[in-house]
Structure 1
Amino acid sequence: MEKIIKGLIKNLSNLYNYNIIEFDYGIDLIGNFGVFKNNGDSSVVIFFSEFNSRDKLDKAVFKNLLERKLDCNNLNLIEVSLVSKLDLEHYRKINSQCGLILIDIVQKNIMCSDPSLNEIANQLGTCMNNMIRINNRNPSKKIPIITYIIIVLNIIAYIFTAYLSKNIADSNINVLVLLGAKVNSLISQGQYYRLITCMFLHGGIIHIALNMYALVAIGTLVEDIYGKTKYTIIYFISGLISSIFSFEFSQSISIGASGAIFGLLGASLVFGIKMKDRIHKDYIINVLSVVVVNLIIGFSMPNVDNFGHIGGLIGGIIISYVLFPRL
């Protein structure tokens, strides 16, 4: 949503000579910027909100703050709220404390029942069309650089493990312990780094191949949804919580990236739940089915760190839901 807001602000400024204004009042908006224009002895201020959280803002207080900031006693406050799946009939029933224009971010429609706001609504429509035209002309494909870096680190670690093990297909358990596998007795002695290093070690060529395939399939999606910084935090915190669960509930030596990957599945599930009104329910069902099937397989096979998988899943859900309430 923030990307859409930034595009609208830029176009309103470039096409219609609006001035950009920063809202530094600690209020609950999408971003901290809007636009304003002076019209003689009056001013128009346009700010942006997410429809589901728009009622949290006291528009009267906000308007008074803006009047003092702009030194204007005749201020027309316009709220542009981003929404999906809302029909015009429902829009007419909304009780708004200021002028309200809705933008359907799915269908790219603009809803406005107040004739006095038609001019601004038309300006926003032009801005939206301009943004779509530019995106179509210059399609950009995001490179999941963090996912690729994590994969490269895992491959380097495996090559080093294979070299010391003198075996490309299977890793020697003593080498894995030497390089930082999760060993409870050693962690209890203060070697806490093993809670992280074990995430980059694998027991064989099939083990790393399956995990890296899953990381490409899931990691690229989560990185695109959450962005590089949040994705990195989700991955490593999930992996850490996975190792902690394994340390607390399993005495076995543990290695592998699957705990962190389960965390990415948790983050994908949270995204599906948050966006359930905008994406098909099959997305949530698909993610849940992948989680359940992998847990069933894990409990059906020996030498699988199921507690690590469960810990990673819980970690991914918590870190993406609690720390990042707004994507």
Structure 2
Amino acid sequence: MTNTHLATPRCKPNSQPLGPREPFRPLPRSLLALAGVIVCIELFLELADRGILSDPSLRSRVYMVGAFWSGLLHGARPIFEGQGWTMFVTHAFLHGGFLHMAMNTAVLLGLGRFTADRYGAWTVLPVFLVSAVAGGLAFGLMSSDPVPMVGASGAVFGAERTMNPACEQTPVTSLTNAIRELSRGQTT
């Protein structure tokens, strides 16, 4: 028995030979700005954890209002009006520590570079935000855990869906197809 889903290519194979390597190009400003915001938030929280800039309880308080709490989708009471909506984006800017942030930022710079090169520098933030919402939605649907989610992993790896150069899709179409496949239990 063959799995036709796996046997049927979704995109034409890339028949173009690999060309010479392009010279180094600086990262797009939009990508650097996004990474900079993520790094600054984590550095501030790290300094607060050590009692240098603020009370060491700051990270916990920031998580209370900015992390993704799946319970808010299942009737838990929000701290402020709109928290159930804002958490779909804010969780992507918070991390569990410096290493968590560094790993996500490194992947963001690599995958975000590809997204910017292929679709334009202006697409980096929309792809990141749409992917953050999709990641939050997936987490919210699959988890009833009282532990919150933080991190940019879902937002960062949404850019992975833009990496197949043989597919003529927009970033949003590519992400929509990925969400549809996940909802059917399929993966590529």
Q: Any idea what SS the aligned residue of 1:182 has?
A: coil
What is the CA distance between 1:149 and its match in structure 2?
A: 0.7
Q: For residues 260 and 320 of structure 1, what CA distance do their matches in structure 2 show? A: 16
What is the CA distance between 1:207 and its match in structure 2?
A: 0.5
Q: 2:42 aligns with which of 152, 158, 161?
A: 158
Q: 1:220 aligns with which of 113, 117, 123?
A: 113
Higher strand share: 1
1:43-54 matches, within 5 Å, as: none
Contact 2:68-2:149 at 8 Å conserved across structures: yes
Q: Residues 194-248 of structure 1: CA distance to partner in whole angstroms, max 9, x if unpaired?
A: 1111100010111011111111111112111110223322221111111111112
Bigger Rg over Cα: 1
Indicate the residue corresponding to 1:148 in structure 2. 32
Q: Any idea what SS the aligned residue of 2:102 has?
A: helix
Q: Residues 278-303 of structure 1: CA distance to partner in whole angstroms, max 9, x if unpaired?
A: xxxxxxxxxxxxxxxxxxxxxxxxxx
What is the CA distance between 1:316 and its match in structure 2?
A: 7.6
TM-score normalised by L of structure 2: 0.64
Indicate the residue corresponding to 1:199 in structure 2. 92
Distance 1:143 1:209, change over 3 A: closer
Indicate the residue corresponding to 1:317 in structure 2. 174
Q: For residues 121 and 43 of structure 2, what CA distance do their matches in structure 1 show? A: 26
Indicate the residue corresponding to 1:174 in structure 2. 60
Contact 1:165-1:175 at 8 Å conserved across structures: no
Q: Residues 151-192 of structure 1: CA distance to partner in whole angstroms, max 9, x if unpaired?
A: 110011112222333379xx9762342350111234654411
Contact 1:198-1:254 at 8 Å conserved across structures: yes
Contact 1:238-1:316 at 8 Å conserved across structures: no
Q: For residues 129 and 177 of structure 2, what CA distance do their matches in structure 1 show? A: 12
Q: Does 1:231 align with 2:124?
A: yes
Q: 1:256 aligns with which of 132, 143, 151?
A: 151
Q: 1:185 aligns with which of 71, 81, 84?
A: 71
Q: For residues 59 and 142 of structure 2, what CA distance do their matches in structure 1 show? A: 21
Q: Any idea what SS the aligned residue of 2:167 has?
A: helix
Matched residue type, 2:167: I
Distance 1:258 1:240, change over 3 A: same
RMSD: 3.4
Count matched residues: 146
Q: Residues 237-265 of structure 1: CA distance to partner in whole angstroms, max 9, x if unpaired?
A: 11111111111211331011110111000
Q: For residues 127 and 176 of structure 2, what CA distance do their matches in structure 1 show? A: 6
Q: For residues 24 and 47 of structure 2, what CA distance do their matches in structure 1 show? A: 40
What is the CA distance between 1:272 and its match in structure 2?
A: 3.8
Indicate the residue corresponding to 1:297 in structure 2. none
Q: For residues 209 and 218 of structure 1, what CA distance do their matches in structure 2 show? A: 14
What is the CA distance between 1:146 and its match in structure 2?
A: 1.3
Indicate the residue corresponding to 1:291 in structure 2. none
Contact 2:42-2:94 at 8 Å conserved across structures: yes
Q: For residues 144 and 237 of structure 1, what CA distance do their matches in structure 2 show? A: 19
Q: Does 1:267 align with 2:151?
A: no
Q: Residues 86-143 of structure 1: CA distance to partner in whole angstroms, max 9, x if unpaired?
A: xxxxxxxxxxxxxxxxxxx99xxxxxxxxxxxxxxxxxxxxxxxxxxxxxxxx99464
Contact 1:199-1:256 at 8 Å conserved across structures: yes
Higher relative contact order (CA 8 A, sep 6+): 2
Distance 1:315 1:243, change over 3 A: farther
The farther-off stretch of 216-225 and 139-148 is 139-148
